[in-house]
Structure 1
């Protein structure tokens, strides 16, 4: 009996250790995306262009970005496909992103939180772009990117996030300046980004952030916004863009319907998201 009394606490301790290990492993793998696929089809009539982007992850880090464009002409029964690939390599304090087709190499220097503070982009023809990044002290999201080309300041995007989640976005180049407001209303409330952790589409497509798509999807440029906006307006313009999202049962964003309108006409886009999880 005395021996059993000694063994029982040991068994309970072993059980607790195993339970903790299982919970930690679950936390590591639960919701971990191995491949995110972003698909958009454009065109009209018999002509269609489908762009499929695959963001491939390993151990929670983006390692490869593959973009495939397929042009289809149903009248001519012709199909043409082009694929480009970008690789990411992680080193202590830095990430190196290589565009295998365009020949550019971008080197990001990281702070202690894993966020990029500086990037040097070496392009063919000895063109060098440099970037600095700043972040909100409250939310950890990107608040500013400045670009210089061959040491001459050229462009900047500044983002101010208000308490209600509304974003005021100002973009500047040497010849242009524009201000956007991305927010919400009852008809277009946006969507929770907690599970998908996607970059806001507008930012990923605006110059100069369009040069940093991989960094955005790798979460090198700060925390993703917690709620993706449902509505976008432009200062001094009648143009309005709305975003309508669909999600699956677990909260992952599966599609985004984008409608841009000006007085008298409107046009739209539709983007599909699919996930392969560990």
Structure 2
């Protein structure tokens, strides 16, 4: 991770920097050593670039512009970079970084800047069936993945299970499909459990030719630990249609509902996604992510 224009900051701004440094998903791939010549099958992406840009405005932290860029070569993720820019004490700052990945036969090895190494074991189709994550502090996390396979032999993730050093299950996500237009999500993290249902309205059905993952799932633990695998399709294909609504299963008290609105270009490829969460008190949360897909 590289921080440009270092300055002596107050304790407040050190808190800003610290919180930014912890923003997840810092995973990427190298270009020259990514197994481009590896034989066998693997999932592919139709684009050469997927870039996400978002201005984060959560108080009391100063606004931060986040840019995440995924580059693809021959249909396979070849590099990922992130850039976070903000102002503090009248000065402009940038946080940048990359992580590397190497593909070999039935394996993808992701190494981040802290020395954490995630080793994915791939099946004959190039999808991950397990992962061992060795963190720089000595923590070892293991993951298992399960899929639904359709008639076209495409894989869709149905479960991720995380175990810690002691071998006990710490977290999991189960995804249950109902015609690919209604998706039930069960998340467990420690003693916390949360169930929700994501749907695509039949009156507003948008084909996901953009090949992007559903943001909500990609940002939930333990999937948030596997950004490169998600955007590289190592954890299965993205949903066939864009999710337009998400609601907690136990929604009678809060009346919480999240609505997603997409803007498309002439190709039908997404250029932005606006997310609005409403509860019984009104608008509780807004977010816009802009996409550049080439």
The answer on 1:259 being equivalent to 2:276 is yes
Q: Secondary structure at the match of 2:201?
A: coil
Work out whether residues 240 and 262 of structure 1, in 8 Å CA contact, stay in contact via their aligned partners in 2.
yes
Where in structure 2 are the equivalents of 1:217-256 lying within 5 Å? 217-237=231-251, 238-256=255-273
Aligned length: 241
- Find the counterpart in structure 1 of residue 75 from structure 2: 60
Structure 2, unaligned runs of 5 or more:
1-44
1 CA distance for matches of 2:137 and 2:244?
41
2 CA distance for matches of 1:43 and 1:201?
18
Assess, with a 3 A threshold, how the Cα gap between structure 1 residues 95 and 236 changes in structure 2: closer, same or farther: same
- Find the counterpart in structure 1 of residue 95 from structure 2: 82
Deviation digits for residues 60-85 of structure 1 (CA, Å, limit 9, x no counterpart): 11122111111136xx5421110121
| TM-score after normalising by structure 1 | 0.82
- Find the counterpart in structure 1 of residue 228 from structure 2: 214
Where in structure 2 are the equivalents of 1:25-174 lying within 5 Å? 32-43=46-57, 47-72=62-87, 77-100=90-113, 102-138=114-150, 140-150=155-165, 151-163=167-179, 165-174=181-190
Deviation digits for residues 108-145 of structure 1 (CA, Å, limit 9, x no counterpart): 00011111000011101110010000001336210000
1 CA distance for matches of 2:65 and 2:180?
36
Q: Which has the larger radius of gyration?
A: 1
Which of the two has greater helix per residue?
Answer: 1
Shift of 1:99: 0.9
Detail structure 1 runs of 4+ shifted over 4 Å in the superposition: none
Structure 1, unaligned runs of 5 or more:
1-30
Which of the two has greater strand per residue?
Answer: 1
